[in-house]
Amino acid sequence: MLSKRIIACLDVDAGRVVKGVQFVNLRDAGDPAELARAHAEAGADEIVMLDITATSDERKTLIETVRRTARQIFVPFTVGGGIRTMEDAAHIFDCGADKVSINSAAIANPPLIEQIAGRFGSQAVVVAIDAKREDAAVNDAEVYIAGGRKRAGKKAVTWAREAEDRGAGEILLTSMDRDGTGSGFDCELTAAVAGAVSIPVIASGGAGSVQHFLEVFLKGKADAALAASIFHFDPSDSGPHAVGELKQALAGSGIPVRWPC
Amino acid sequence: MIAIVDYGAGNISSVKKALESLAADAEVTADPQVIAAATKLVVPGVGHFSRCASLNRLREPVLEAISAGKPFLGICVGMQWLFQGSTESPETPGAGLFAGECSRFHSVVKSPHVGWNQVELRSASRLLSGIADRTFVYYTHSYRAPVVGETTACTEYGGKFSAAVERDNVFGVQFHPEKSGPAGLRILENFCAL
């Protein structure tokens, strides 16, 4: 049976893994390559690395970090942040990434999705959507770009469908309302997007407990769930083998997961 | 030396990295002479079957190597190429070493099939030696090969399809061993040890 994926996300700033609460209060959490490897060995089904600053001078650091990380992991590896052109994407693939995640650039230039998919295949293109609902209905959730600073003027559900039509292979849906809060995924929003597209949807934002993962797979209809901080900062046991414990618990609750790995 | 045949279908660096981690001597090439000099061939691939048109330009040296008994491993589209063709690109012929045609998943399941799914072992396999039944491996594809006599493992996703095929020195896997964690590395190690 096709399993539900648990994806470990590394938010990287200037070559170090950091994690903020709703995009601020960054804390240093270690070396990206080492952490990626530890997560993969602990049972993460996939590694996502997001360059959260992506200024031009930090670009070279990222490239080196991607290269170093890709050499060490043998599970799918996605890189996002600051990818604006086909050349940027090609460079990231050259460094050993399997997929690129594009967000602001896909909004600014939607044909970029087609271009990357046309050359590298749809399986290599993840379109990341940062959505904010506040009190609105799910279908009115707004897309934000530029690290959550700017409204894109699109609805998340419609944009997900357009991204699929243009050749996206997966949608990485982040609830900005929940991101970093540990209060659970936005299952309603995830289910709305998952129901609107036929490509896999990765839920992100709000993971805080095993129960949250159960809910996002059962109620949210997510194909995969992504988390960062709970894997780095689990207070009971700060080690990455928290991924393994999570999968064990999910397997015990009847969720198909790759466990033992 | 293992020749990783580069026909512009991407994913080459992942396969090379994985083989290098096993201390294998692997070279990415599109040169018929290098292919002829290799002791083993790997044809990786993701994406569209139409890419096999460029692989068909290397058809002769690749098929010669296979006839000479050199171990051959096709991955994903590289495995699909071993069949007669694919409805994804009817004008592009496959190598025709295995009977049947690759086709799209039925609309009852989400397509592409992305993620970790289990292999059901069907018969003894040199490539899958040491791999337990129901092991999870990583897939990403929209088309799949039928189950044939040479299918050594299949996977269930809206019906069964060939996860692995094997006949003499010719091997194919639909999943990505280079992305399938320890199980995938074990499979590549088995191939290197042939």
Domain extents in chain A: 5-252
Does A258 reach chain B within 8 Å, measured CB to CB? Answer: yes
pLDDT in tens, A101-142: 999 999 999 999 999 998 888 899 999 999 999 889 999 999
Q: Are B110 and B158 in contact (CB under 8 A)?
A: no
Q: Is it true that the peptide bond before B182 is cis, omega within 30 degrees of 0?
A: no
Please list, residue by residue across A97-130, b when 16 or more beta carbons sit within 10 angstroms of its beta carbon and e when fewer do: bbbbbbbbbbbeebebbebbbebbbbbbbbbbbb
Residues of B in contact with A3 (CB under 8 A): 115-117, 136
Binary contact (B14, A98; C-beta < 8 A): yes
Indicate the SS3 state at residue A171: strand
pLDDT in tens, A67-111: 999 999 999 999 999 899 999 999 999 898 999 999 999 999 999
Domain spanning A5-252: which CATH class is it, in words? alpha beta
Catalytic entry in A31, A45, A98, A130: A130
pLDDT of residue A244: 87
Q: How far is B60 from chain A (nearest CA, A)?
A: 26
Degrees, nearest 5: CA angle B177-B179-B184: 35
What CA dihedral angle connects A112, A114, A115 and A120, to 10 degrees?
A: 120
Q: What's this model's pTM, rounded to 2 decimal places?
A: 0.93
Catalytic entry in B150, B166, B178, B189: B178
Q: Which of B113, B115, B178 sits opposite A74 (nearest CB)?
A: B178
Residue with tokens 């396999």: B125
Residues of B in contact with A123 (CB under 8 A): 46-47, 112, 114, 140-141
Binary contact (B112, A199; C-beta < 8 A): yes
User: What sign has the CA pseudo-torsion A209, A254, B105, A46?
Assistant: positive
ipTM: 0.91
Q: Which of B14, B112, B118 sits opposite A96 (nearest CB)?
A: B14
Residue A140 annotated to the active site:
no
Q: To which H or E segment does residue B35 belong?
A: helix B32-37
Q: Is it true that the peptide bond before B112 is cis, omega within 30 degrees of 0?
A: yes
pLDDT of residue B27: 96
- Give the chain B residue nearest A71 (alpha carbons): B17
10-residue mean pLDDT profile of chain B (194 residues): values are: 87 88 96 97 87 92 98 96 96 97 90 94 97 97 96 97 98 97 97 97
Other CB atoms closer than 10 Å to residue A195's CB: what's the count? 12
Residues of chain A under the 50 pLDDT cut: 21-24, 233-240
Q: How far is B170 from chain A (nearest CA, A)?
A: 24
Q: Which of B10, B17, B118 sits opposite A120 (nearest CB)?
A: B10
Structure token digits, residue B175: 């999943």
Does A217 reach chain B within 8 Å, measured CB to CB? Answer: no
Residue A11 annotated to the active site:
yes
Q: Are B193 and A112 in contact (CB under 8 A)?
A: no
pLDDT of residue A228: 83
Domains and CATH numbers, chain B: 2-192 (3.40.50.880)
Q: Which of B10, B14, B110 sits opposite A121 (nearest CB)?
A: B10
Q: How far is B17 from chain A (nearest CA, A)?
A: 6
Q: How far is B67 from chain A (nearest CA, A)?
A: 31
